[in-house]
Amino acid sequence: MPDLRDLIDISAWNFRTGPLPERQASRADWERVGDALERGSVTLLGLWAGAGCVRLALFASGTRHVGLLSYRTDDSFPSLGRHCAAAQRPERAIRDLYGLVPEGAPDMRPWLDHGRWRMEQPLGTPRPAPPAEPYRFLTAEGDSLHQVPVGPVHAGIIEPGHFRFTAQGETVVRLEERLGYVHKGIEGLMRGVSLDRGAAIAGRTSGDSTVAYAWAFAQAVEAALAMAVPPRALHLRALMAELERLANHLGDIGAICNDAAFAMMLAQCGALRETVLRAADAAFGHRLMRDRIVPGGVAQDLSPEGAAEIRAVMADIGRRFPALVELYDNTASLLDRTVGTGRLAPDLAAAFGAGGFVGRASGRDFDTRRALPYAPYDALTFDVPVRNDGDVNARIWIRIEEVRQSLGLIAQIVDTLPGGEVRTDANLPGSARSGLGLVEGFRGDVLVWVALDPDGQISACHLRDPSWFQWPLLEAVIEGNIIADFPLCNKSFNCSYSGHDL
Amino acid sequence: MLRFLLEGLLRHPLCEPLPPSEAALANELAGAARRRLGRSLAIRAVDAGSCNGCELELHALNNPYYDIERFGIRFVASPRHADLLLVTGPVTHNMREALERTYSAVPDPKWVVALGDCALDGGCFAGSYAVVGGVASVIPVDLHIPGCPPPPAAILSALVRLLA
């Protein structure tokens, strides 16, 4: 019998069609959740704070049910990080932003707060910050160890973050990440704004997943308002989401190979990626399809010419991609770098609830589109590839397979596109409500929880990037590898900085 | 592998000419770059808080369609090798010091280009407790390229104009 069945009782159909019932958790409930997380019978979907409470979203695999609990507190709450390492960074962020203290937490260092905001707990009761103390990195002990600090400004065109390597010779003994450099205070910016403004901010949480975020935000709002979205709009959303997945996977497959100095793959995949972005531009008027998904539907309909363009580009990719897969699979010097490198053990992937290709390359068979289905994916045919080897090579192969699946999905969507309206207007809630959105972005499951005022303004919003449960695993996979293989490991994860830092 | 190399030799290149108005500028570029810099233009990109959208389009400049290096413009790994600092995003408080230190590591003479709507005034992140504001509120800016994110062709044109 699944654990915590009394707490994890909101079916996918329920939370996808109506407002969320808010369940108050007692201290005993909260402790039971900790035990279940430790046993691994449930997975953490999100942990965040609000005014006078902490909230928790859970998923019990195989049930198609989620649980949402809130624990009332003005000062502290029992730490779940004692039982589940995946909860530690979210708890540190809660303390930084709201001042709520996780009791007995194993790691009480600040996380997003670098002591530069000129205030403490900005989203709780702000107060003047004391002078910042230097950040204490974790130590490593042994003979002939040296440290290599990298970042926040990196050598390539990438987002900022700090990596502290402790190495023995070339071998990494410990990697510690320090993130939070691009913290923009998105939860604070969401408070008291209109749905339109909220959708714009949500779409700018992580640039490469702008479609996934906009869709998850729209889902949360529509669930809170129990709005029905026109079928054509749902299909167009899925079309955009698959184009986004395709573009990101193509770009990253090339970029990972480039980090092994195999530049030809980057050039070839980069060209394919560009054709996807141009098709998106032709069909939806924006290369990244930003601001195209709005609560109630989509902002722009697809013209017959746009559909034809997408068809043509997909056919072209379908012709050219197999040769690239063959090139990857037949280049021994490249496989020598990717096979066996950065291996993520399946038990770690499961314990952290790692989503996306990171989890699926390490045996975690979870894809929101199938596990907690949402329209129109319940009516489309696709496979969810899973492997168990968990190395850089496995993550590349999952992405290759997902490229094929997305090509198939795009063809199905364009062929079965229903007619009709593409947008309905949001009605006023009339009472305070909240809703949950969960969308499979290219990187994994994006969760958005939104609370609305009676007059339809956003009173609170939390956006949880899949990277929260992937970044800590990068620290684990690099151990015992050489520093030179870090770019390969890092790119094969491709975690988001902006989505994580919020 | 050989097939790709052979195709590369026999097929027309993917890279596209600039629009005629920009092409004339591009021709001036080689001369201008040599005159002003004595060499080609080296860019150091710094993300000071962006959502990563602008970075995606900067990456696109290196793909075969835009092939920015044909104009002698290239991205370098260190600010000490750079002539131009290309800054994206609203500047967050957590990135402010890193941006200032990167700026001071770029040798004179140097240019600063602020890329994207957020880099102008903070965009939709302006007013947050965690955001300083646009790039110009931290370091002097010579040129702003608008867009959310600006498409690669627009970035390319703007850089060519800056030099010519």
For A260-285, the three-class secondary structure string (H helix, E strand, C coil) is CCCHHHHHHHHHHHHHHHHHHHHHHC
pLDDT at position A1: 39
Best interface-test mutation with A: which of B9, B15, B47, B156 has the largest number of A CBs within 10 A? Answer: B47
Angle between helices A486-493 and A231-258 (to 10 degrees): 180
Q: Burial of B30 by CB count in 10 Å (0-12 exposed, 13-18 middle, 19+ buried)? A: middle
Higher pLDDT residue, A45 or B38?
A45
Nearest-CA distance from A271 to chain B in Å? 6
Nearest to B51 among A152, A207, A271 (CB): A207
Closest-CA residue in chain A for B59? A157
**Residue extent(s) of CATH 1.10.645.10 domains in chain A:** 206-463
Best interface-test mutation with B: which of A111, A113, A157 has the largest number of B CBs within 10 A? Answer: A157
Q: Which CATH class is domain A4-128?
A: alpha beta
Nearest by Cα to A500 from A447, A464, A475, A473: A464
Contacts of A267 in chain B (CB under 8 A): 63-64
Cβ–Cβ under 8 Å, residues B54 and B117 = no
Phi, psi of B14 (to 5 degrees): -80, -20
Question: B24 pLDDT band (50/70/90 cuts)?
Answer: low
| CA end-to-end span of chain B | 39
Query: In angstroms, rounded to a whole number, what is the distance separating the alpha carbons of residues B137 and B114?
Result: 11
Residue in the block written with tokens 């499979």: A440
Q: Do B149 and A207 touch (CB under 8 A)?
A: yes
Q: Do B125 and A181 touch (CB under 8 A)?
A: no
Nearest-CA distance from A348 to chain B in Å? 28
Residues 6+ apart with CB under 8 A from A202: A190, A213, A214, A216, A217, A448, A461, A463
Query: In angstroms, rounded to a whole number, what is the distance separating the alpha carbons of residues B97 and A181?
Result: 10
Amino acid, single-letter form, for residue A235 = H
Closest-CA residue in chain B for A207? B53
Cβ–Cβ under 8 Å, residues A55 and A449 = yes
pLDDT per residue as tens digits for the range B74-106: 999 999 999 999 999 999 999 999 999 999 999
Q: What is the DSSP letter of A107?
A: -
**Residue extent(s) of CATH 3.30.460 domains in chain A:** 4-128
Nearest-CA distance from B73 to chain A in Å? 14
Query: In angstroms, rounded to a whole number, what is the distance separating the alpha carbons of residues A475 and A471?
Result: 7
Question: Distance of CA A346 to CAs A188, A364, A371, A469, Å?
Answer: 36, 7, 19, 14
Query: In angstroms, rounded to a whole number, what is the distance separating the alpha carbons of residues A354 and A359?
Result: 5
Query: In angstroms, rounded to a whole number, what is the distance separating the alpha carbons of residues A200 and A437?
Result: 16
User: A13 by DSSP, 3-state: which?
Assistant: helix
Q: Do A277 and B60 touch (CB under 8 A)?
A: yes
Question: B9 pLDDT band (50/70/90 cuts)?
Answer: confident
Q: Burial of A178 by CB count in 10 Å (0-12 exposed, 13-18 middle, 19+ buried)? A: middle
Contacts of B149 in chain A (CB under 8 A): 207, 288
Contacts of B89 in chain A (CB under 8 A): 182
Phi, psi of A23 (to 5 degrees): -100, 125
Nearest to B52 among A200, A323, A498 (CB): A498
What's the predicted TM-score (pTM) here? 0.95
Nearest-CA distance from A83 to chain B in Å? 30
Best interface-test mutation with B: which of A98, A113, A153 has the largest number of B CBs within 10 A? Answer: A153
pLDDT at position A190: 96
Contacts of A264 in chain B (CB under 8 A): 1, 4
Best interface-test mutation with A: which of B11, B16, B46, B52 has the largest number of A CBs within 10 A? Answer: B52
pLDDT at position A22: 76
Cβ–Cβ under 8 Å, residues A54 and A71 = yes
CA A316 to chain centre: 30
Query: In angstroms, rounded to a whole number, what is the distance separating the alpha carbons of residues A256 and A491?
Result: 6
Secondary structure (DSSP) of B107-133? PSS-EEEEESHHHHH-GGGTT-TTEEE
Count other Cβ atoms within 10 Å, centred on residue A48.
23
Which portions of chain A are predicted below pLDDT 70? 1-3
Question: Distance of CA A246 to CAs A205, A272, B52, B123, Å?
Answer: 20, 10, 17, 28
Nearest-CA distance from B164 to chain A in Å? 25
- The structure tokens listed for A45 are 């979907």
Cβ–Cβ under 8 Å, residues B113 and B159 = yes
Q: Do B125 and A184 touch (CB under 8 A)?
A: yes
Q: Burial of A104 by CB count in 10 Å (0-12 exposed, 13-18 middle, 19+ buried)? A: exposed
pLDDT at position A151: 85
Nearest-CA distance from A156 to chain B in Å? 6
Nearest-CA distance from B88 to chain A in Å? 10
Best interface-test mutation with B: which of A111, A158, A184, A257 has the largest number of B CBs within 10 A? Answer: A184
| pLDDT exceeds 60 at position B116 | yes
CATH architecture type of domain A206-463:
Orthogonal Bundle (1.10)
Cβ–Cβ under 8 Å, residues A394 and A362 = yes
Cβ–Cβ under 8 Å, residues B18 and B26 = yes
Question: Distance of CA A363 to CAs A52, A344, B111, Å?
Answer: 38, 10, 49
For the sheet with A433-440, list strands across it: A433-440, A445-452, A458-464
Q: Do A270 and B64 touch (CB under 8 A)?
A: yes
Q: What is the DSSP letter of B76?
A: -
Residue in the block written with tokens 């996977």: A249
Query: In angstroms, rounded to a whole number, what is the distance separating the alpha carbons of residues A341 and A489?
Result: 7
The angle at the Cα of A147, spanning A141 to A152, to the nearest 5 degrees, equals: 135
Contacts of A208 in chain B (CB under 8 A): 52-53, 56
Q: Do B130 and A185 touch (CB under 8 A)?
A: yes
pLDDT at position A426: 80
Residue in the block written with tokens 């050489």: A482
Q: Tell me: ipTM over 0.85.
A: yes
